[in-house]
Every structure is written in structure tokens, then in C-alpha cells.
Amino acid sequence: MTLADIVDPATRSRMMGGIRSKNTKPELALRKALHARGFRFRLHPANLPGKPDLTLPRFRTAIFVHGCFWHRHEGCQLATMPASNSEFWSAKFKRNVERDAVVLQALLAVGWRVARVWECALRRQPVDLAADALSSWLVSGGAMLELPIEPIRKVRV
């Protein structure tokens, strides 16, 4: 059984149209924390696959700040499935995940290091902890990093 949407189609369209792909709150918070640690970066370069949210050319690193809902953070409570129009959403989410995988492989193939920071990593703990983990990883030389290691899970009471 699916429930009907609680707002009319025009309102829903306006709401969905207001969702940003760049300069989101989690992205801005992470940028501020990294900048405070002395890292300098470029924003959304069109010459790299996937237009990463941040690139640090000095470290040859691309950083993506992924929303758990849109990019389907597996096992995360923020990656819910809308009840209405589920076929559309399933197909959309599948395309997003496939595109993310292709972009990741393309960046690694041309020698870039990639970090994925999930929205829940910036929600459930201070942004400074994620920035510290990224800072350590940047100087360590690892090929890939994903934050958080464990997604936020639903707690049943």
C-alpha cells in the first residue's frame, strides 16, 4: 500500500526544484573545516569526471560530499525510499549509483585519489572529526577513503 502525497504536484515540484547539487550545507561545512586546516582546493572542476565537490590538485585528490538519500548510502537510515512513484525513484537511484561507480573508476584510472564523505558523517558527529580524518588521509597517500566507515542505522525501540 502506498500513501498519497501530502502536498499537491506543483508544491512538490517546487520543493524538489529547491534541492541543490552544489554548495550544500554539508559541503560548505566540510570546506570551511578543511580550509581552516590550511588545505586549498578547487570547486566543481568541469575537466574531471563527475565534477567533484572539491579537488586538491597538490594531492591529486577529488572529494565528493554525497547525500545519503540521493546516492543511496547502503544501510543508512537517511537512504529512505519514497512511498509514492516507487518505480521512478528506484530507476533514478539505480542510475545515480551506477554513475557514481563509473566516475569513481574513471578518476582512479587517471591517477586521482578519491574520498567520499557521506552526509551522515557530517550530521552525527562534529565536522571537525571528518576533516581530521580527511587531513590524515590526504598526507598518508591512500588511494580511497569513505567516511563514515559505518552508516547511521535505524535503532528499533
Structural domains of the chain ordered from first start: 20-147 (3.40.960.10)
The pTM of this model reads 0.83
Tell me the helix, strand and coil percentages in the chain, rounded to 5: 45, 15, 40
pLDDT for the residue 31: 96
- Residues 131 and 41: their CA atoms lie apart, in Å, by 14
pLDDT for the residue 152: 55
Residue with grid cell 572529526, as numbered in its chain: 129
Q: Are 117 and 71 in contact (CB under 8 A)?
A: no
pLDDT for the residue 156: 47
pLDDT for the residue 1: 39
Q: Are 22 and 70 in contact (CB under 8 A)?
A: no
Q: How many CB atoms lie within 10 A of CB 13?
A: 11
pLDDT for the residue 149: 62
Q: Tell me the mean pLDDT per 10 residues along the chain, length 157.
A: 63 67 87 96 94 95 93 89 86 95 96 94 88 92 81 52
Task: Tell me, rounded to whole angstroms, the distance of Cα 104 from its chain centroid.
Answer: 12
